[in-house]
Amino acid sequence: MQYVLIALLVLIIIVIARGICIVPQANAWVVEYLGKYHATWQAGLHIRIPILYKVIKKVSLKEQVADFEPQPVITKDNVTMMVDSVVFFYIFDAKLFAYGVERPIAAIENLSATTLRNIIGSMTLDETLTSRDDINSRITAILDDATDKWGIKVSRVEVKNIDPPRSIQDAMEKQMKAEREKREAILTAEGKKQSAITLAEGEKEAAILRAEAAKQQKIREAEGEAEALLAVQRARAEAIKLINEAAPSKEYLALKSFETAESMANGQATKIIVPSDISNLAGTIAAVSGAVSGKEDK
């Protein structure tokens, strides 16, 4: 009898231990009662009766990533290429996820592949290569709408790689190379053009500056010559004035007459007429000097 009680006690402890369930954070458990849906347990402590209650599905509520194999897709212009995509999703209803569809990840993969074929099949190769954002948004909208009844929320879809055939890639590389060479030639020509324009403008400005400098030099030379002539004339006038004020003698006037004659002889004249009476010439000069002095005294 004692052993029966011990066995019964151990059985009760095992039943109680198996009846205690702890659901981790970010998880949900789908529970059935006698084969029929009973409840969805959220994170925390729960008690169940073994045999009567059964956990049929443990669901993670975290965002998940499904990376699918590349799919062959034919574009509108009959180019076959390999396209692979990544689907980001999370489960918002554990009950729908448990009872909505068998193998939900495989269902998402097949739905993603058929949607890719439909969308890219209506686009050309160039449109496909330049419209990834549009493709991503359209696939996301279609998958999200289709998976709502499975308790799955598709947050986004990303097209990872688009691989055209090798021949198409070679042609595209040649086209890109030709385009780069064209841009290089255009830039080189533009550079030479700008260089020539800059050089011409520099020569033009230099010529203008040289002409302006020559003009200023001539103006300064003319002004200098004018000032020199004016200074000479003023000096002569001052000298005459000083001579008149000094009342020069006849002998001085005669000497100046000889100096004048000498300077005249240094010119191109071949004949010089000299008065026979130099003293008369000196007297004449003295008379003129006296007349000038008289006028100044008056």
Where do the domains of the chain lie?
A: 2-60, 64-164, 166-246, 254-298
Percent pLDDT > 90 in the chain is: 19
* Sign for the pseudo-dihedral over CA of 129, 134, 138, 140: positive
**What is the predicted pLDDT for the residue at 254?**
64
| CATH superfamily label, 64-164 | Band 7 domain (3.30.479.30)
**What is the predicted pLDDT for the residue at 61?**
92
Structure tokens at 270: 């071949």
Contact 50, 18 (CB under 8 A): yes
**What is the predicted pLDDT for the residue at 143?**
92
**What is the predicted pLDDT for the residue at 293?**
46
Q: Could you tell me which residues come within 8 angstroms of residue 159 by beta carbon, excluding any fewer than 6 positions away?
A: 83, 84, 85, 116, 132, 135, 136, 139
- Report the 10 Å Cβ neighbour count for 90: 15
CA distances from residue 276 to 114, 254, 257, 281, 282 in whole angstroms, order as listed? 140, 13, 13, 9, 12
Using the predicted structure, report yes or no on whether residue 291 has a pLDDT greater than 50: no
pTM of the model: 0.55
CA distances from residue 103 to 14, 17, 107 in whole angstroms, order as listed? 34, 32, 6
* Burial class of 95 by CB neighbour count within 10 A (0 to 12, 13 to 18, 19+): middle
254-263 pLDDT per residue, tens: 666 666 655 5
User: Band of the pLDDT at 297, cuts 50, 70, 90?
Assistant: very low
**What is the predicted pLDDT for the residue at 260?**
63
Which of 42, 81, 35, 90 is closest to 62 using CA atoms? 90
